[in-house]
Amino acid sequence: MGEMTRKAGDATDRAESSDWLDHAVRAGLVAYGVVHLMIAWIALQLALGDQSGSASSTGALQQLTDEPFGELAIWLIAIGMLLLVVWRVLEAVGGHRGEEGKDLWLKRASSVLKGVIYAVIGWSAVQVATGSGSKGGSDDTTATVMNMSGGQFMVGLAGVLVIAYGVGQIVRAWTEKFREHLTAEGKSGEAGTAYIWFGKAGYAAKGVAIGIVGGLFLYAAYTHQAKKSGGLDQALHKVLQQPYGPVMLGVIAVGIGCYGLFCFARARHLSR
């Protein structure tokens, strides 16, 4: 068993250090950036009064189908997300070798979580491309969980975890920890300064939006009303309903767009 574990670790090391994985990650990050730019565009339209689109990854993909070569683009996004899932699986299985103890397991758990996020977007892309997407919303899933034994607690816990993740994104923006994802060249000069600002705005905006999603889940658990929960689209609509909502939503939309641009910068100056 020890020999098999060692061989598996060696295989993972070879895969993680290979050029093909670099190319795969770059392609995936470009696809991820496109999705965020589309979400940002829909959110900006929402802030300006057009509520015809859904400001979510699925909504962004659906809007992309109306563009020339839209279906091809969606399939490329699905492939890009799959490549990112492969990368995160390799990280979760044998990556982060420089870490030990609790830090190692936290890093690997983070890789799993990111892999799940990429997988969800990728599966949404496949559903949109094949026309098999479900019409049910996130509140349907929440209602199913809520009706389980201990479901109210699980929905509340999910809300806490989502808020924690959102706060983590804001902390990354404040501390500029995301700089580790760029090579030295990607952090230098005027271009590097722009990339850093894209990252700061992008991570902060994503953190705020994700935190609101978590808050919706907490409120749904507290009131025992699944329809009070929601995904990114519902969260941005909540922002719109607040005083100066269109302005705040516009700022978040620009921030999400900046995250998309940072994904492009990261793809060009990749540091894994």
How do residues 184-241 score in pLDDT, each as one tens digit?
Answer: 999 999 999 999 999 999 999 999 999 998 898 888 888 877 666 777 888 888 888 8
In Å, how far are 80, 177, 271 from 267, measured between CA atoms? 12, 17, 9
Q: Name beta bridge partners: 270.
A: 182
CA distance 237 to 124: 21
How many CA atoms lie less than 13 Å away from 260 in the CB half-sphere? 18
CB 14 within 8 A of CB 21: no
How do residues 52-70 score in pLDDT, each as one tens digit?
Answer: 777 778 888 888 887 778 8
Q: Kindly report the backbone phi and psi dihedral angles of residue 270, in degrees, each rounded to the nearest multiple of 5, phi listed first.
A: -70, 130
pLDDT of residue 5: 44
pLDDT of residue 8: 47
Residue 1 pLDDT > 50, yes or no?
no
Residue 127 pLDDT class (50, 70, 90 cuts): confident
Question: Which residue carries 């995904």 as its tokens?
Answer: 231
Distance of CA 224 to the CA centre of its chain: 27
pTM of the model: 0.85
Of residues 136 and 233, more confidently modeled: 233
> Residue 55: which of 34, 73, 40 has the closest Cα?
40
CB 236 within 8 A of CB 213: no
How do residues 71-108 score in pLDDT, each as one tens digit?
Answer: 889 999 999 999 999 999 888 887 666 666 777 778 88
pLDDT of residue 65: 80
Residue 26 pLDDT > 60, yes or no?
yes
pLDDT of residue 195: 96
